[in-house]
Chains A and B, each alone.
Chain A
Amino acid sequence: MSAATFQGAADTEPRRWRFGPLWLAAPGLAFLTVFFVVPVARLLGLSVQDLDAGTWSGEHYARIVDTSVYFRVLLGTFRISGLTALLSLLFGYPLAYWLAQLPERTRGKAVLFVMVPFWTSYLVKTFAWMVILGQKGVINQILAGTGLPSLPLLHNEFGVMAGMVHAMLPLAVLTMLPVMTTIDRRLVDAAGTLGASPVNSFWLVYFQLSLPGVAAAGLLTFISSLGFFIVPALLGGPQQTMLAQLIIAQIQEMLNWAFAGALSTFMLVAALVTCWVYDRMFGLSTLSGEGSGRAGSAQGRLRAAGMRLLAALAKGSTTLGGAAGRVVGPRAMAWLLPLYSAAVIVFLVAPALVVVPIAFTSSPFLDFPPPGYSLNWFRVYFESDVWVGATVRSFGVAFATAILATVVAGLAALALARSTSRWRGAIFAFFLAPMIVPRIVFAVGLFYLFAQIGLVATDIGLVIGHTVLALPFAFIAISAVVKGHDWRLDQAAATLGANRFKTLMLVTVPLIRGGLVAAFLFAFITSFDELSVAIFVGGGVKTTLPKQMWDDMILQLNPTLAAVSFVVFVIVMALLLIAERLRRPAR
């Protein structure tokens, strides 16, 4: 309403150039169009062109469907992604439920146990799993110590699923949590007073109200899994090859752009179809925690079937819960949820911690526990020109990315907060789009564009690519703070004689400072941990820290990687804690 008042006031000013608030989003829109939409669209275009003949052609798609190897990878990718999403929801829901019912203060602290693994570098996490699951890894060494035979845990389906679920679980929990915390607890009380048992209250009221969050979490984990290549490449075997790996191979080994484009199209279409289905059912706005989606139609057959299903679930869990309650007793039942939540948190946090002792090992191997301790591997790290160069470049690129992303996203967030335009929703979704398009698709498209305009193997190219990927995170961080901003303060400043620029600099920016700093840090972390763009756009010359880690991990595991992982982990955690502290709106 305040925005409307403000606009009304602006409209009455005579003959002044109208600088509508939406114009502030223009730089971001232009940036995303040139460096995100165009590259992706052109890559898709490539896939239906016959470059030699200059005509349209569907031959690449025919080849995918006809070649059983490719088709198997396609199906395998969907299967692993679907399974990952499903398991992340199953394991994550009780944890999110437990977090949601904690008192707000405690919750803020407990959520950090999910935030830490969420922001921990995928490479660090995957490295940790290799150390834990390997032939001579932590688990097998423990088994050997107790005289048990060793288990094949790595380079198979189990290894991939462990790594994938571990990578996606935090995202699932962090997506479900905001929806759950906004569920009015009095509705559950109300169900109780109306005669619903706790089990019925949960399934028929709470669970149904949490469904938009569950669906959003399923959507995001599924889409993110589709484009994954780090985990299947390092933890899986040939049977678990995923689409993104094929795309990388097509570009790096075959230089077959068109075929890579066709594979990318499959991935992108799968992601977009999932989004479309989600949007039909819940509305995309739920993704950003913008509140509930649309009201379902009361007569829908789907809805009736869903209700019957939930009623059956309620009945089933009443029987099950009753039986369990009789076995372990009601007091133990009350402890089940906290105990379960603690177990999941250990699963999330422990792997990264395993890396720490190995970083300080005196052995040249990845023994666990280390035979002795030393700083050898940190010395190797800091004396290596390759590692130091990669580290310096990563810092520089991340810093530039953070500044660029914060400015562009900040302007856009301000624009959308002040605007009442009907384009608002569309622009909002547009800024979140880099989160939904699989990174690998974007990275390949950007590579193709940069190859033509000479930005491959440049730091600027890296900064541009990373900024596109960091924009959604920065945008969400700033939007959250701007949403709580009291625009009457800006009006007050105007009545007191401040012009628009002074109002922005002296009133608005200081008040949303927390969101700006958080956006800066999230953008920094995003860039610091980015691999897809680095693989292609870095061009093998401009190596970043994740790219160097990736190369080493493919070649051979060594304790230097543990030392690097430790440093990356500490830096990212420090930034994260600062960002989290500042993200809460100033009181």
Chain B
Amino acid sequence: MLATHGTAQSIQSRSAAPVAAPKLQVDDLTKRYGSFTALQPTRLDVPAGEFLTLLGPSGSGKTTLLQMICGLVEPSGGRILIDGKDETRTPVHKRDIGLVFQHYALFPHLTVAENIGFPLRMRGMAAAEVEARTRGALDMVHLGHLGGRFPKELSGGQQQRVALARCFVYQPSIILMDEPLGALDKKLREHMQQEIKRLHRETGATIVYVTHDQEEALAMSDRICLMNHARIEQIGTPHEIYARPKTAFAADFIGVSNIFRGRVQRDAHGTPVLVTSDGSFRLTGEALPDQDEASLVVRPEQLDLDGEGDNEVSGEVVDTVYAGSETRVLVALGGGTTVTVRLRRGLAPPLPGDRVAVRWRAEAGVLVS
């Protein structure tokens, strides 16, 4: 099957609660600064309890979208609805939204406990209840013993936990996170990903999460909203986006991809093929109309050296890259493309200069426009 049309709609109906209005609706939301467009008119529905990630390179509009949802940036056009109610003009402090900042934005002059209690006090809660809830939130992020410290006395990971506690403590109906793990090192980042997922599970909160790290997006999200050039490129579950990218950008941005560019034609048997500078490759299912420019995406794990497959291309090994859990082989093809192949388990890595045949099954390829 070729992923030539979207599957986002079907996914939406699957993960949303039956009939209920989405928690958050973004309706033709736009942001322009003079002649520069930071966000094209954008539509997006987020069902209650979902973990949605806005993923994209810097300048793709994801942070702008997030800041408009929480009210820090005023939209140039469009509407924001929360629980079906229009909140576009509601000032930031009156929206029932939590935002976890990229650099935490903990108040340096307040203690950890005072930081966490801040949103509760702003809501006029009695001192006793503020204290009880603060203690609960501190325990939730395993920082029960550090309430009296000041933020700068904590490590980066601990500060991150405080920021999370400060956001979860007042149970906002939507929680937004702006690259919250960007400042942490890889090991700690992976640990905190698990923590955030646990908090999501335990609280059932609706979370919109911004990141430019595709691995993080794949690991955490219910759905990923891939953004590029100030608009949405593709929305879908991590698996859909990885396995069935709709555009060359999506394929290239998420995971490692081998992309062959060419033109769709029919071979002697009437089967659709993509004619590229590296050879003609068989396509399956519904193809694009003949003569259309298209790209064929094949993931490294779908390629095989000297294995099975109805598409074949030969080339010369340039290098092998050992990455611990897997070994990748870089093969230069005749037409000038270099493809990445994941070496099958148990196979001895070839040496640079070896001539190899790279094969894959036609169904493994995804044709994108």
Query: Which of B93, B97, B98 has most chain A Cβ within 10 Å?
Result: B93
Residue B111 CB within 8 A of the other chain: yes
Contact of A186 among B95, B105, B123 (CB under 8 A): B105
The reply to whether A196 and B118 contact each other, CB–CB distance below 8 Å, is yes
A208-B109, A298-B148 known; A189-B118 Cβ under 8 A: no
Among A144-152, A163-171, A197-205, A548-556, the stretch that binds chain B is: A197-205
The reply to whether B105 and A209 contact each other, CB–CB distance below 8 Å, is no
The reply to whether B108 and A292 contact each other, CB–CB distance below 8 Å, is yes
A195-B93, A197-B93 known; A187-B122 Cβ under 8 A: no
Residue B44 CB within 8 A of the other chain: no
Chain A residues with CB below 8 A from B70, complex form: 193
The reply to whether A295 and B105 contact each other, CB–CB distance below 8 Å, is no
The reply to whether A295 and B152 contact each other, CB–CB distance below 8 Å, is yes
The reply to whether B105 and A190 contact each other, CB–CB distance below 8 Å, is yes
Q: With A and B bound together, what is the CA distance between A197 and B92 in angstroms?
A: 8
A198-B93, A209-B109, A292-B108 known; A193-B98 Cβ under 8 A: yes
Contact code string A179-222 (vs B, CB < 8 Å = 1, else 0): 00000101101111111111011001100110000000000000
A295-B153, A298-B111 known; A193-B118 Cβ under 8 A: no
Contact code string B171-189 (vs A, CB < 8 Å = 1, else 0): 0000000000000000000
Contact code string B81-110 (vs A, CB < 8 Å = 1, else 0): 000000000011111011101010101110
The reply to whether B118 and A194 contact each other, CB–CB distance below 8 Å, is yes
Report the nearest A residue to B94, measured CB to CB.
A195
The reply to whether B122 and A184 contact each other, CB–CB distance below 8 Å, is no
Number of interface residues of A (CB under 8 A): 24
The reply to whether A209 and B108 contact each other, CB–CB distance below 8 Å, is yes
Chain B residues with CB below 8 A from A193, complex form: 70-72, 92-93, 95, 97-99
Q: With A and B bound together, what is the CA distance between A499 and B162 in angstroms?
A: 51
Query: Which of A195, A200, A201, A295 has most chain B Cβ within 10 Å?
Result: A195
Query: Which of B97, B108, B153 has most chain A Cβ within 10 Å?
Result: B108
Contact of A196 among B108, B122, B153 (CB under 8 A): B122
Q: With A and B bound together, what is the CA distance between A197 and B90 in angstroms?
A: 12
Contact code string B102-144 (vs A, CB < 8 Å = 1, else 0): 0101011101000000110011000000000000000000000
The reply to whether A205 and B111 contact each other, CB–CB distance below 8 Å, is no
Contact code string A270-302 (vs B, CB < 8 Å = 1, else 0): 000000000000000000000010011011000
The reply to whether A187 and B153 contact each other, CB–CB distance below 8 Å, is no
Q: How far apart are A299's CB and chain B's nearest CB, in angstroms?
A: 8
Q: How far apart are B176's CB and chain A's nearest CB, in angstroms?
A: 8
Chain B residues with CB below 8 A from A201, complex form: 93
Report the nearest B residue to A208, measured CB to CB.
B109
Q: With A and B bound together, what is the CA distance between A209 and B151 in angstroms?
A: 14
Q: How far apart are B293's CB and chain A's nearest CB, in angstroms?
A: 44
The reply to whether B152 and A195 contact each other, CB–CB distance below 8 Å, is no
Residue B170 CB within 8 A of the other chain: yes
Q: How far apart are B5's CB and chain A's nearest CB, in angstroms?
A: 38
Residue B166 CB within 8 A of the other chain: yes
Report the nearest A residue to B70, measured CB to CB.
A193
Q: How far apart are A216's CB and chain B's nearest CB, in angstroms?
A: 16
A195-B119, A195-B123, A295-B152 known; A189-B105 Cβ under 8 A: yes
Q: With A and B bound together, what is the CA distance between A296 and B149 in angstroms?
A: 10
Q: With A and B bound together, what is the CA distance between A205 and B101 in angstroms?
A: 16
Q: With A and B bound together, what is the CA distance between A85 and B101 in angstroms?
A: 38
Q: With A and B bound together, what is the CA distance between A193 and B94 in angstroms?
A: 8
The reply to whether A298 and B122 contact each other, CB–CB distance below 8 Å, is no
The reply to whether A189 and B72 contact each other, CB–CB distance below 8 Å, is yes
Q: With A and B bound together, what is the CA distance between A195 and B99 in angstroms?
A: 11
Chain A residues with CB below 8 A from B122, complex form: 191, 194-197, 200
Q: How far apart are A518's CB and chain B's nearest CB, in angstroms?
A: 31
Q: With A and B bound together, what is the CA distance between A232 and B153 in angstroms?
A: 48
Q: With A and B bound together, what is the CA distance between A299 and B337 in angstroms?
A: 66
Contact of A192 among B72, B107, B109, B150 (CB under 8 A): B72
Contact code string A389-401 (vs B, CB < 8 Å = 1, else 0): 0000000000000
Report the nearest A residue to B112, measured CB to CB.
A298
A191-B118, A195-B93 known; A295-B103 Cβ under 8 A: no
Q: With A and B bound together, what is the CA distance between A192 and B119 in angstroms?
A: 9
The reply to whether A194 and B72 contact each other, CB–CB distance below 8 Å, is no
Q: How far apart are A572's CB and chain B's nearest CB, in angstroms?
A: 39
The reply to whether A194 and B152 contact each other, CB–CB distance below 8 Å, is no
Q: With A and B bound together, what is the CA distance between A497 and B207 in angstroms?
A: 58
Q: With A and B bound together, what is the CA distance between A186 and B105 in angstroms?
A: 6
Chain B residues with CB below 8 A from A198, complex form: 93
Q: With A and B bound together, what is the CA distance between A193 and B67 in angstroms?
A: 10
Chain A residues with CB below 8 A from B99, complex form: 189-190, 193
Chain B residues with CB below 8 A from A299, complex form: 148
The reply to whether A186 and B152 contact each other, CB–CB distance below 8 Å, is no
Q: How far apart are A282's CB and chain B's nearest CB, in angstroms?
A: 12
Chain B residues with CB below 8 A from A192, complex form: 71-72, 91-93
Chain B residues with CB below 8 A from A195, complex form: 93-94, 119, 122-123, 170
Within 8 A of A (CB), among B47-103: 70-72, 91-95, 97-99, 101, 103
Q: With A and B bound together, what is the CA distance between A189 and B94 in angstroms?
A: 13
Q: How far apart are A187's CB and chain B's nearest CB, in angstroms?
A: 5
Q: How far apart are A10's CB and chain B's nearest CB, in angstroms?
A: 32
Q: With A and B bound together, what is the CA distance between A208 and B111 in angstroms?
A: 13
Contact of A205 among B97, B107, B150 (CB under 8 A): B107
The reply to whether A194 and B119 contact each other, CB–CB distance below 8 Å, is yes
Chain B residues with CB below 8 A from A187, complex form: 105, 107-108
Q: With A and B bound together, what is the CA distance between A292 and B94 in angstroms?
A: 32
Chain B residues with CB below 8 A from A295, complex form: 150, 152-153
Q: How far apart are A296's CB and chain B's nearest CB, in angstroms?
A: 8
Q: With A and B bound together, what is the CA distance between A230 and B122 in angstroms?
A: 50
Chain A residues with CB below 8 A from B152, complex form: 295
Q: With A and B bound together, what is the CA distance between A205 and B106 in angstroms?
A: 10
Q: With A and B bound together, what is the CA distance between A298 and B122 in angstroms?
A: 20
Report the nearest B residue to A194, measured CB to CB.
B119
Q: How far apart are B291's CB and chain A's nearest CB, in angstroms?
A: 52
Q: How far apart are A369's CB and chain B's nearest CB, in angstroms?
A: 45
Report the nearest B residue to A209, measured CB to CB.
B109
The reply to whether A186 and B103 contact each other, CB–CB distance below 8 Å, is yes
Q: With A and B bound together, what is the CA distance between A192 and B97 in angstroms?
A: 10
Contact code string A235-257 (vs B, CB < 8 Å = 1, else 0): 00000000000000000000000
Q: With A and B bound together, what is the CA distance between A295 and B150 in angstroms?
A: 8
Report the nearest A residue to B124, measured CB to CB.
A195
Q: With A and B bound together, what is the CA distance between A204 and B93 in angstroms?
A: 14
Q: With A and B bound together, what is the CA distance between A201 and B109 in angstroms?
A: 13
Q: How far apart are B343's CB and chain A's nearest CB, in angstroms?
A: 42
Contact code string A290-321 (vs B, CB < 8 Å = 1, else 0): 00100110110000000000000000000000
Q: How far apart are A314's CB and chain B's nearest CB, in angstroms?
A: 10
Chain B residues with CB below 8 A from A191, complex form: 93, 107, 118, 122
Chain B residues with CB below 8 A from A186, complex form: 101, 103, 105
The reply to whether A298 and B92 contact each other, CB–CB distance below 8 Å, is no
Q: How far apart are B347's CB and chain A's nearest CB, in angstroms?
A: 47
Q: With A and B bound together, what is the CA distance between A569 and B190 in angstroms?
A: 63
Q: With A and B bound together, what is the CA distance between A99 and B258 in angstroms?
A: 53
Q: Which residues of A contact B (CB under 8 A)?
A: 184, 186-187, 189-198, 200-201, 204-205, 208-209, 292, 295-296, 298-299
5 A-B pairs within 8 Å (CB atoms) are namely: A193-B72, A193-B92, A193-B97, A298-B148, A299-B148
Q: Which residues of B contact A (CB under 8 A)?
A: 70-72, 91-95, 97-99, 101, 103, 105, 107-109, 111, 118-119, 122-123, 148-150, 152-153, 166, 170
With A186-B101, A189-B92, A191-B93 known, 19 other A-B pairs at CB within 8 A are A189-B99, A189-B101, A189-B105, A191-B107, A192-B72, A192-B92, A192-B93, A193-B98, A194-B93, A194-B98, A195-B93, A195-B122, A200-B93, A208-B109, A209-B108, A295-B150, A298-B148, A298-B149, A298-B150
For the complex of A and B, list the 6 residue pairs with the smallest distance between their C-beta atoms, beginning with the closest. A190-B105, A195-B122, A194-B119, A193-B99, A192-B92, A186-B105
